[in-house]
Amino acid sequence: MNRISLINYEGDCLWAKREGEEIVIYDQWDSIVDILNAEKFLDWVDGKFELSDSEGKKWVFQKEALDARAKFKEIFFFLTKENNGNKHS
């Protein structure tokens, strides 16, 4: 499974996994927050919109502490790594 910790304050606040072409974002209670395609996911990473977790907390990636956010290199590998044996080009 291709998984990434997106925002981590002493534990995952938001994390994601790829399921085919979709990116499923989960909160710290493992509730699904949203399901995005790669373009919408990158829009969220770029700070263009917020996501709300199952408790109603709003998350804007660019407004979180730099040390708590996934690094862009990690995001790149998350988006480009082979998944389930299928190479994405």
pLDDT of residue 87: 41
Q: What is the pLDDT of residues 10-40, one digit of tens each?
A: 999 999 999 999 999 999 999 999 999 999 9
Tell me, yes or no, whether 65 lies in a domain.
Answer: yes
pTM: 0.87
In a domain, 33, yes or no: yes
Range of the domain at 56: 3-80
Confidence of residue 83 (pLDDT cuts 50, 70, 90): low
Angle between helix 72-80 and 38-45 (nearest 10): 180
In a domain, 89, yes or no: no
- Strands lying side by side in the sheet with 22-27: 3-8, 12-19, 22-27, 32-36
In a domain, 87, yes or no: no
Number of domains in the chain: 1
Residue 35 forms part of a structural domain: yes
| pLDDT of 1 higher than 90 | no
